[in-house]
Amino acid sequence: MEDRDLIIIGGGPAGYVAAIRTRQLGGRVTLVEEDTVGGTCLNRGCIPMRALVRGVEFLEIPRKARDYGVNLGAAEVDFAKMMARKDTVVRTVTGGVKLLLEGNGAEVISGKGRLASPSEVEVVSSDGSTSRITARKILIATGARAKRPAVPGGDGVLTTDQAMELTEIPRSLLIIGGGSIGLAFATIFAKLGAEVTVAETSARILHDVDGEIVSILARDLRKQKVQILTEASITEIRDAEGGEKSVVVTAGGEEKTLIVQYVLAADEREANLEGLGLDVAGISTGSGGIEVNRRMETNVAGVLAAGDVVGEPRLAHVAFSEGRVAAENVMDKASEMDYLVVPRCINTFPEIASVGLTEEEAASQGYQTRIGRFPLAAVGMATILAERSGAVKIISEAEYGQILGIHIIGPHAAELIGEATLAMKMEATPKEISATIHTHPTISEALMEAALDVTGEALHSLSQDE
C-alpha cells in the first residue's frame, strides 16, 4: 500500500478502532500485529473474564429457582467445557474484529513492528524476515502486560494470561492485588469452590472505589468465603510439598505463611515498550508509559500513541476512544480526549460500576456535597430477581447540583452506568434524572430514587436524609 496515512503498531482496542476510523475518514492505513487482533481485552482480558463470570452465574440458578417453585437439581461444573465456551466467545469476538478490518479495507500485516524513524516502521515477521513501510503518521498501540511481584520466587507466580488458561479449578489460590482484576478472579474461583485469599497492599480493597460501595462488596465477599488481607506485602514465595506454594505474607504488622496451590499476580500491569525503537525516534516516556497530550500525540511530530501503552485508566472503552481520537487527528479532524467522565465496571458478585468522583475524592477536592442513596432492597425488580444486595449512590455539588459521581453496586450495574455517564456528560442534575420517567419494574428505578434522595424526596424509602 503506497502513500499510507497511518501505520498502527498493535491491533488491540485502540489500534483496530483507529484503523477502522481512519478508513471511515478516507485514509489509507496499515495495522501491524504480531499476535491476534483484539489485544488483551478481547483475547485474555475483559471478554474472556466476563464469559467466565457468566458461567459461574449459572451456579446460583438452581438454588434461586427452588424459591420460585422450579426444581432444577444440583448444579455441576464441567470446568473444561466452561473454559472451552470462554474460548469460543473469544474466537467469535476476535473473528468479528477481523471482519470489520477487512470490510473497511484496512491492511493487516502479521509481525512485530518497531520504529525505524518517525515515519518508518520495520516489521519483523515470524520467520525472521524484515521489511520496512512508511506513512505520514504512526500510532503506537501496543498495550500493557501483567507484572509479576519483584520478590524471591515471584517468577513462579501466575499471570492473568495464565489464569485464563487453567485446566483445573484451583484447590486454593492467593491473589496478589485487591483491585478490579484481582477481585473478579476471586469471585470466579470462589464461586467454583476454591479457597481464595486476596492480599492487598492498601488499607482496603478497591482503594479507588467509593467506600460505601466497597463495604457492601466486602460483606458479600465474606459470604463467598473470600479471605481479605489488607496492608499486606509478600516477602517470599517458594515451592512446597505436593506442588504447592509457600508464601510469606505480612498483613497488619503480622507475618504469616500461607500454603496454596497457586499464586496469581492480578492488578499490576506495565506498558509494552520494549523493542519499539522509542529511543531511535526520541519519544518521551514516563512511569505509566508513553507520554501523550489529549490529541494522543507524543513529543515527536507524526507519532501518536493510544490505549494501555499510555497508562491509566487502562480500560478497553477508554482505548476505543483514544484510538478514535488519534485517527481523527491523523486525518486532520481536530479531536481531543475527555477523561472527565470515564465509566468503569468490576466483574464481582454483586457487580460494581461507577463514574466520576467518590465521596472521599469530592471531599478532598473541597466540594460541599449533597448525597443521595437508594438501596436495591427497596426496588421491586431486585426482589423479583432475588438480588437485593446493592445500592445506588449519587454525589452532587451542594449549591448548583452538578453531579460529581454516581456509584452502583448490584445486578446489571455495568449496563446502568451508561445512563449515569450520559447524565454527567450532558451536565444534568439529580433533579433532571429524578424527573425522567423510568420503566417499572426495573433496577434503573434505583437511579431515579437516589436522585430524588439527594433532596430527601425518595418515594420508596423511609430512610431519607436532608
pLDDT of residue 1: 55
Give me the chain's average pLDDT, please.
Answer: 95
Q: Which of 207, 407, 412, 440 is catalytic?
A: 440
pLDDT for residue 3 is more than 80:
yes
Please state whether beta strands 344-346 and 352-356 pair in parallel, antiparallel, or not at all (unpaired): antiparallel
What mean pLDDT is predicted for residues 120-141?
95
* Residue among 150, 141, 155, 152 at smallest CA distance from 113: 141
pLDDT of residue 120: 95
CA–CA gap between residue 210 and residue 25 (Å, rounded): 40
Site of grid cell 514465595: 237
pLDDT for residue 303 is more than 50:
yes
* Residue among 20, 69, 166, 393 at smallest CA distance from 158: 166
pLDDT for residue 330 is more than 80:
yes
pLDDT of residue 466: 38
Strand partners, 172: 195
Between 352 and 74, residue with greater pLDDT = 352
pTM: 0.93
User: Running DSSP on this structure, what letter comes out for residue 19?
Assistant: H
Given pLDDT bands bounded at 50, 70 and 90, which one contains residue 146?
confident
How do the residues of the chain divide into helix, strand and coil, expressed in percent and rounded to 5?
A: 35, 25, 40
Given pLDDT bands bounded at 50, 70 and 90, which one contains residue 160?
very high
CA–CA gap between residue 420 and residue 422 (Å, rounded): 5
Considering the chain, what percentage of its residues have pLDDT values greater than 90?
Answer: 92
pLDDT for residue 464 is more than 70:
no
CA–CA gap between residue 111 and residue 103 (Å, rounded): 21
Ordered strands of the 352-356 beta sheet: 344-346, 352-356, 403-409, 391-397, 369-375
pLDDT for residue 313 is more than 70:
yes
190-228 per-position pLDDT tens digit: 999 999 999 999 999 999 999 999 999 999 999 999 999
- Positive or negative CA dihedral for 254, 255, 261, 265? positive
Domains of the chain: 4-145+270-330 (3.50.50.60), 154-267 (3.50.50.60), 350-453 (3.30.390.30)
Please state whether beta strands 195-199 and 227-229 pair in parallel, antiparallel, or not at all (unpaired): parallel
166-193 per-position pLDDT tens digit: 999 999 999 999 999 999 999 999 999 9
pLDDT for residue 2 is more than 90:
no
User: Running DSSP on this structure, what letter comes out for residue 412?
Assistant: T
411-445 per-position pLDDT tens digit: 999 999 999 999 999 999 999 999 999 999 999 99
27-43 per-position pLDDT tens digit: 999 999 999 999 999 99
pLDDT of residue 267: 84
CA–CA gap between residue 86 and residue 164 (Å, rounded): 9
* Residue among 225, 207, 164, 180 at smallest CA distance from 413: 180
pLDDT of residue 461: 82
Please state whether beta strands 112-117 and 120-124 pair in parallel, antiparallel, or not at all (unpaired): antiparallel
The three cell numbers locating residue 173: 489460590
* Residue among 60, 10, 4 at smallest CA distance from 27: 4
Catalytic residue status for 407: no
pLDDT for residue 465 is more than 70:
no
CA–CA gap between residue 434 and residue 427 (Å, rounded): 14
346-402 per-position pLDDT tens digit: 999 999 999 999 999 999 999 999 999 999 999 999 999 999 999 999 999 999 999
Cβ(307)–Cβ(15) under 8 Å?
yes
Phi, psi of 83 (to 5 degrees): -70, -35
Strand partners, 176: 199, 265
Cα 412 from chain centroid (whole Å): 16
Given pLDDT bands bounded at 50, 70 and 90, which one contains residue 327?
very high
Helices (H), 37-78: 39-44, 46-57, 61-67
Between 83 and 340, residue with greater pLDDT = 83
CA–CA gap between residue 424 and residue 364 (Å, rounded): 20
CA–CA gap between residue 140 and residue 135 (Å, rounded): 13
222-249 per-position pLDDT tens digit: 999 999 999 999 999 999 998 899 999 9
